[in-house]
Amino acid sequence: MGTLYESAWHIPGTPWLVSLAFLALLARSPAPRRGLFASLAALIALDAWLNGPLTPLASASGAVRTGVALVFVLAGDLRYFLVAELGAATGPGAWRRALLLTLVVPVVALPLRLLAVPERVLWLAYEVAFLVLALLLRQVVWPRRLRAAPGEIARAVTALTTFQVAQYALWASADVMLLAGLEAGWLVRIVPNTMYYAAFVPFAWWWLGEAEGVPR
């Protein structure tokens, strides 16, 4: 199971294929934020390369590879917060709010690094912290902020957040299984990995475009 998980067809193969198809579709779209979504697709393709089995960082130190992985984890979280903030459009400062939200989970979870906990325990703590934050946003924050927004906007932001909840819940479940010694956890992790690396950008593009009335 671990062999399938570490296959280059999983990462970066699937993200690269989906990103190429998405960029071809995006080139024909009238969406006003094509540049944003093209950049997000390129960023996740780079992430899949640097953090997958074909990485050019294979000979780098563990600290370097962990640092690179962390940078891209934060970038992956930022894209959700940014797209959600742009969709919410409740005032200026979407980038600033997105950056602040991105820093919440690292501030809560990453100090565990100082306790020298196993890496999988560290990532599980990160996943659980993000899951709690996403649920708080979905159930409390967004409904309040979007109370006066059009229904299409509220549905789009809710859909994006539900996607994140499912993704992080699956990641956390897989890591619990792996910590318990269950090899099936590797198969479970393939699902949220595919959501993260391949599905999120097209999903966000579709929902934001639908909310803003952009024809496909």
Q: Which of 54-58, 104-108, 209-213 has the lowest mean pLDDT?
A: 209-213
pTM, two decimal places: 0.91
- Highest mean pLDDT (candidates 61-65, 80-84, 152-156): 80-84
Tokens (6 digits) for 52 = 């997958």
- Residue 54 is predicted with a pLDDT of 92
Q: Which of 26-30, 113-117, 143-147, 155-159 has the lowest mean pLDDT?
A: 113-117
Contacts 24+ apart (CB under 8 A), 29-36: 29/209, 29/214, 29/216, 30/214, 30/215, 31/205, 31/209, 31/214, 32/212, 32/214, 33/86, 33/208, 36/86
pLDDT band for position 91 (50/70/90)?
Answer: low
Give the contacts of 58 (CB within 8 A, at least 6 positions apart).
none
